[in-house]
Amino acid sequence: MTEVQSYYGRPVLKEPTWTWEVPTYFFSGGVAGASSVLSLSAKLFGNEELSRRALYVGAAADVVSPMLLISDLGRPERFHHMLRVFKVTSPMNVGAWVLFVNGGASTTAALLELLGILRPLKLLAELVSFLFGPPLATYTGVLVADTAIPVWHEARQELPWLFGASAAASAGAAACVFCPPAHAAPARRLAVGGVVAEGLLMHAMELRLGETGEVYHRGTAGKLSSAARALSAGGALLLARGGRRRRSAAVLGGVLVCAGELCLRFAVHHAGKQSARDPKYVVKPQRERANRDGTRATIRTA
C-alpha cells in the first residue's frame, strides 16, 4: 500500500482555528434549541412544571451561546456584522440569525414567565422559539460539514442528525437535573432516546466514513469519543433505572449525559483537526472520488 505524503511534509489542509468556545457553543446551542421544543411540547400536554424548567434552561443556554461566539470572534462587533446581511447559502450567516431570533424569543418568554405578565406575548415568544429551536440544534452540523475538512465533509449526511440527537439528549438531561422526577418523565424519555439515536448515528457515520473515521478512535478525538459514549450511556441508564424515583439519581444521570454530549462535540472538533493534519485523510478520499466520477463518466458516454 502506497503511503500518502504531502508536499515537504506540510499538511494539505489548514487545521480549524476554532478554540474551545466553538465546540462548547455547539453544545449550548443544542441545549437551547432542543429545550425550546421540549418546553412548548410539555405545555401542550399540560406539564407546566417541566415546561417552565425547560424554558429557563433554554433561555440560560441562549444567553451563554452568543457570549461564546463573541469570545471566539475576539470582538463583539464581528457578531453584529454577521447580522447586517442574510445569505441563505452561508450556514454561518443563517445560524447567526437563527441564534439571534431563538435567543431573543426564549429569553423574552423566560423573563415574562418569571414576572408573570403579558401572557399572550409570552406564548407568542415561546412559539417563535419552538419554530427556531430545531434549526438552532442542527445547523452547526451543517456548518462543519460545509468545509473541506475530510472527516466533517464526508459525514455531511449524518452530522446534522447526530447533532440533533445530541441536542435532544442534552436538553432532556438538563431538564431532569432541574425538574422534580414526578414531572420529568418526558424529559427522561427524550434524554434516553437521544442517547440511543446518537449512538446508532455515530456508528453509521463511522461505517460510512471507512478509513477516514479512524480519527474517532485515535488521539484526543478517540479519548473524547470513548468518554462521550461511557458518560452518556451511564447517565441514560441511571435516568432510566433510578431517575423516576430518586432525585439524586435524576440529577447525577442528567449531569453525566450532559457531560457526555459535551465530550461528543469536542470529539467532533478534534477529529476535524486530526483529519486535516494527516494527508492520508485528505488525498485518498479525493482520489477515490475522482476515480468514481471517472467511472461514471465512462459509463454515461459508453
Between 247-277 and 219-241, two packed helices, what is the crossing angle to 10 degrees?
160
Secondary structure of 151-185 as H, E, C letters: HHHCCCCCHHHHHHHHHHHHHHHHHHHHCCHHHCH
- List per-residue pLDDT tens for the chain, 302 residues long: 444 455 445 566 677 778 899 999 999 999 999 999 999 999 999 999 999 999 999 999 999 998 898 887 766 666 666 667 767 677 778 878 899 899 999 999 999 999 999 999 999 999 999 999 999 999 999 999 988 898 999 999 999 999 999 999 999 999 999 999 999 999 999 999 999 999 999 999 999 999 889 999 999 999 999 999 999 999 999 999 988 889 999 999 999 999 999 999 999 999 999 988 877 766 566 555 555 555 554 444 44
Provide the pLDDT for residue 80: 60
- C-alpha span between 154 and 165 (Å, rounded): 19
Q: What is the DSSP letter of 16?
A: P
What is the distance of C-alpha 120 from the center of its chain? Answer: 31
- C-alpha span between 269 and 289 (Å, rounded): 24
Task: Please list the helix, strand and coil fractions of the chain in percent, rounded to the nearest 5, in that order.
Answer: 80, 0, 20
Q: What is the DSSP letter of 6?
A: -
Provide the pLDDT for residue 161: 97
Residue 236 backbone class (left: φ over 0; alpha: ψ -120 to 50; beta: rest) = alpha
Nearest Cα neighbor of 14 from 275, 243, 240, 284 is 275
May I ask the CATH class of domain 15-301? mainly alpha
- C-alpha span between 151 and 216 (Å, rounded): 9
Residue corresponding to grid cell 442542527: 138
Identity of the residue numbered 125: A
Provide the pLDDT for residue 72: 76
- C-alpha span between 3 and 24 (Å, rounded): 35
pTM to 2 decimals? 0.88
Residues across the chain:
302
- C-alpha span between 240 and 163 (Å, rounded): 22
